[in-house]
Amino acid sequence: MKDVLVRFAQPSDLEQLARLREVLWPESSAEEHGEELALILVGTFPRVMPLVILVAQAGDGTLAGFLEVGLRSCADGCNESRAVGYVEGWYVEENWRRQGVGAELLRAAEGWARGQGCLEMASDTAIDNLVSQRAHEALGFEVAEHSVLYRKTL
């Protein structure tokens, strides 16, 4: 991986991060993502467990990708006696894929989680997102279980 720096996101990354998040999570607009990021990046996002965003910055200053990592009190298939590092979101621009950017983001997230006392990382992806599943498995994740999620409007 040449000419890419992995670091913690800063408020100056907000606009680029909002656009990348919109690609990963298109159900919200870049503007809506920006509103949430504004809180996350200054540490005032109302969340019980910590959440940080790591970015991969190319030499020209553009963001090649990001990984949001947090702590969860439990995750399927993990030891329930300790908090777990959890990949909340992970995206690498298509032109930067298969160059080690995603792996470097994950390594940095794992380092952060270890620093929080975690012994395990967990993640999830959509059942039809085969690219994400292959990336997870190539970087050492194992399938913990398959499930069907339900919802009901009240």
Q: How confident is the model at residue 25 (pLDDT cuts 50, 70, 90)?
A: very high
pLDDT of residue 1: 63
**What letter represents residue 42's amino acid?**
V
**pLDDT > 90: what percent of the chain?**
66
Top pLDDT among 93 and 128 is at 93
The pTM of the whole model exceeds 0.85? yes
Q: Where are the domains of the chain?
A: 4-138
Query: Looking at the domain 4-138, which fold is it?
Result: Aminopeptidase (3.40.630)
**pLDDT > 70: what percent of the chain?**
99
- Average pLDDT for the chain: 91
Alpha-carbon distance values, 17 to 22, 29, 107, 127 (Å): 8, 12, 20, 25
Q: How many helices (H) and strands (E) does the chain have?
A: 4, 5
Per-residue pLDDT tens over the stretch 41-62: 988 787 767 889 999 999 999 9
pLDDT of residue 48: 63
Q: Is 74 exposed, middle or buried (0-12, 13-18, 19+ CB in 10 A)?
A: middle
pLDDT at 149 over 90: no
pLDDT of residue 53: 96
Per-residue pLDDT tens over the stretch 113-132: 999 999 999 998 888 889 99
